[in-house]
């Protein structure tokens, strides 16, 4: 994976998050919080988890920022506050990725898991995991929207992003 791919995935990540949040903001509160059987319970729990794990990885990669200690913590109860934090974290991630070079991707990064176990991996593997993890749980969030609304959730296909489907303006 080269730096072009990493930057594209970072941009895609932000685009897909905005599309999910646009759908989430349109939902009645009861639907938004309805348990659906996904790993983090509801759309709200899943969106919180995605923000939380990005914060963990960005703290590991930069040494700054918040580092929640529980993977199921609810960082923001209000979805608009959650959206503002999501936009800020996506910007932080995009800025970080824009500063990397191809050579940086091969460098090892040492970190500790939330349980304290030490690891060291190439940066490119960590970033591949970060973006894959986002896609995995966005898929669950996508399913939540479909289940609770009975409608069609927004497309999150990478091809749609590459073809220029616009992201909603949520700022």
State the total domains in the chain. Answer: 1
**Where in the sequence is the domain holding 71, given as residue range(s)?**
3-162
Give pLDDT tens digits along the chain (171 positions). Answer: 899 999 999 999 999 999 999 999 999 999 999 999 999 999 999 999 999 999 999 999 999 988 777 788 889 999 999 999 999 999 999 999 999 999 999 999 999 988 889 999 999 999 999 999 999 999 999 999 999 999 999 999 999 999 999 999 997
Q: Which tokens hold the place of 25?
A: 């903001």
Asked if residue 167 belongs to a domain, the reply is: no
Asked if residue 22 belongs to a domain, the reply is: yes
Query: Taking the model in full, what pTM does it have?
Result: 0.95
Binding residues for a divalent metal cation, by number, are 49, 133, 137
Q: Which tokens hold the place of 47?
A: 């969106």
The helix or strand, by DSSP H or E, that contains position 111, with its residue range, turns out to be strand 108-112
Q: What is the per-residue burial (b if ≥16 Cβ within 10 Å, else e) of 13-24?
A: bbbbbbbbbebb
Q: Give the residue from 6, 30, 55, 34 showing the smallest Cα distance to 141.
A: 34
Binding residues, by number, are 49, 133, 137
């Amino acid at each position: 994976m080269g730096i072009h791919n990493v930057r594209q995935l970072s941009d895609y990540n932000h685009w897909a998050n905005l599309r999910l949040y646009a759908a989430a903001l349109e939902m009645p509160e009861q639907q938004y919080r309805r348990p659906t059987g996904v790993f983090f319970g509801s759309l709200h729990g899943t969106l919180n988890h995605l923000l939380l794990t990005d914060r963990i990885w960005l703290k590991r990669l930069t040494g700054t920022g918040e580092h929640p200690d529980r993977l199921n913590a609810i960082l923001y109860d209000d979805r608009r506050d959650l959206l503002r934090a999501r936009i800020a974290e996506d910007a932080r991630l995009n800025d970080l990725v824009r500063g990397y070079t191809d050579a940086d991707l091969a460098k090892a990064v040492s970190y500790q898991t939330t349980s304290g176990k030490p690891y060291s991996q190439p940066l490119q593997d960590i970033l591949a995991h970060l973006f894959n993890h986002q896609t995995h749980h966005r898929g669950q969030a996508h399913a939540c929207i479909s289940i609770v609304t009975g409608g069609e959730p927004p497309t999150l296909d990478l091809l749609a992003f590459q073809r220029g489907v616009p992201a909603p303006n949520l700022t």
